[in-house]
Amino acid sequence: MKIRKGWIVTLLVVGFASPVVAEPLALKEALVMGLQHNFDLKVAQLDVVRSEGAVMAQEGRFDVMLELSGGQSEAEIPTASALYPGDTLETESLSGEAALAKQFDIGLQSRLSLQGVRTEGASSDALADQLDPSYQANLVLDFTQPLLKDFGWDANLADLKVAETRRQQAALAYLGRAEQLVAEIEAAYLELLQANEEQRYYTLARDLAQELLAGNERKLDAGLIPVSEVNQARSAVAGREESMLLAEQRASVARNVLADLLLHGELTTPASAWEVDFPPQEGNTVLSLEVALAKGFKQRPDLRSARLDTEVRHIELAYADNQRWPRLDLVGSFALNGLAGDDAGAGSRYVGDWNDALDGALAEDGNQWYAGLSISMPLQNRGARGAYNAAEASDRQALYALQRAEIGAEHAIRTAWTNLGLGKQRFEVATRAAELAAITLEQESRRLTEGLSDTFRVLSYQDALVAARIREVAARIDYQQALNALYQVMGNSLERYEIAAALPREGARP
31-71 pLDDT, tens per residue?
Answer: 988 888 888 888 888 999 999 999 999 999 999 999 999 99
* pLDDT on residue 23: 65
- Contact between 509 and 176 (Cβ < 8 Å): no
DSSP 8-state secondary structure symbol assigned to residue 503: B
CA 15 – CA 437 distance, rounded (Å): 11
* pLDDT on residue 82: 62
* pLDDT on residue 359: 84
* Encoded amino acid at 373, one letter: L
* pLDDT on residue 401: 96
How many C-beta atoms surround the C-beta of residue 238 within 10 A? 11
- How far, CA to CA in Å, does 112 sit from each of 71, 328, 336, 448, 494? 19, 22, 11, 106, 54
Considering the entire predicted model, what is its pTM? 0.81
Q: pLDDT means per 10 residues in the chain (510 residues)?
A: 44 48 76 86 90 94 94 81 67 91 95 91 52 87 95 94 95 92 93 92 90 88 87 90 92 89 62 74 74 94 96 96 95 92 74 82 84 93 95 96 96 95 93 93 86 86 92 94 93 86 43
Q: What Rg value do the Cα atoms of the chain yield, rounded?
A: 43
* pLDDT on residue 8: 45
- How far, CA to CA in Å, does 370 sit from each of 101, 107, 144, 331, 410? 19, 20, 12, 8, 63
- Contact between 420 and 486 (Cβ < 8 Å): yes
CA 314 – CA 158 distance, rounded (Å): 10
Cis peptide bond N-terminal to 133, omega within 30: yes
* pLDDT on residue 12: 54
The chain-wide mean pLDDT, for the chain, equals: 85
* pLDDT on residue 126: 46
* pLDDT on residue 241: 92
